[in-house]
Copies of this chain bind each other. A is one copy, B any other.
Amino acid sequence: MQVTDGDRLRAAPKPSLDLLTRLLREDLERVNQLIVGRMQSPVALIPQLAGHIVAGGGKRLRPMLTLGCARLCGYRGERHIALAAAVEFIHTATLLHDDVVDASDLRRGRDTASAIWGNKAAVLVGDFLFSRSFELMVADGSLRILEILSRASAVIAEGEVMQLATTGNTETTEAEYLAVIQSKTAELFAAASRIGAVLGARPAEEEEALDQFGRNLGTAFQLVDDMLDYSAREAELGKCVGDDFRGGKITLPVLLAFARGADDERGFWQRTLEKLDQRPGDLERAIDLVERRGGIAETLARARSYAAAATRALAPFPDGPERRALFAAAAFAGDRSF
């Protein structure tokens, strides 16, 4: 097996979320119970479909940021549980809506909710979870937190629509790509972290610092996500790669490979991503081109730089188990393989 740039960059032991999950174990258990409780409905399809995605073994990274940042800010009450659940419901609704396909789309390799129950059910159950999220926030009663999360929801939707407009367009700029991932992904990480400072009644500078922490961490997280989709190593490990390729999504690894590619390579990207004319062997060639043009290494390097910025944003907070666990989460976001 050839040793690649990506392999070299990722030779060190992987950072993990273990510190954070251990620190928050009890809180997280209560968040999970609340999530399961609040996704119930007399309409049987709702818990059925929501369960598929909510219980689907997500990392619960976003709610953990709310819990961890609240504790970092000295908050010792109970409100962070419901708000962490609200954050996860917004994320889940987004996932369900992101799975919606058009007739022209290629089916993904996975069993998405929309593939099993249909587009419409996925959309409507997403709406239900989104409404539940707002019910949880309203019951909490903080207009400031409602403001932060309703604003984030609007920005996420804008980001998703922006992404739709860049799909299949190899002329997308890096700035446009960054605007997409910062809206569709980083915004919720920023809001999830920021509300920790609101719960702890911390001054505006610390609220802003936690926003920057979450925003940079979220950007790193999405960059790695987009890198993993073209990772030869992941493919060898039997993980699912190529979703973005099959959907014609324009991500940084592709933008880099396109910009640095020879004419015939650009032709390849235009055929496969713009025209969605994909043939056997194309995904393998895409993975090879991304690797050879430095798309993996460069994307990973950028992710690490955002992760470092996330870490720096925590400077105003005192050292302690909370900050160390959040440091580790930032490192994980910038250097993970799942």
Contact = CB atoms under 8 A, between A and B. Distances in A.
A158 interface: yes
Interface in A130-180: 130-132, 134-135, 137-139, 141, 143, 146-147, 150-151, 153-154, 156-158, 160-162, 164-165
Q: Is the interface of A mostly helix, strand, loop or mixed?
A: helix
* A-B CB proximity, top 10 nearest: A128-B157, A131-B154, A131-B153, A134-B150, A127-B157, A102-B118, A124-B160, A138-B146, A135-B150, A124-B161
Which range holds the interface residue count of chain A?
A: 35 or more
A154 B126 CA distance: 10
A147 B140 CA distance: 11
Contacts of A93: 127
A162 B46 CA distance: 9
A121 B151 CA distance: 20
A165 B157 CA distance: 28
Nearest to A159: B43
Interface of A: 41-46, 93-94, 97, 100-104, 118-121, 123-125, 127-128, 130-132, 134-135, 137-139, 141, 143, 146-147, 150-151, 153-154, 156-158, 160-162, 164-165
Nearest to A90: B131
14 contacts: A42-B158, A43-B158, A44-B165, A45-B165, A46-B158, A100-B100, A104-B118, A123-B123, A124-B157, A125-B161, A127-B160, A131-B153, A131-B157, A135-B154
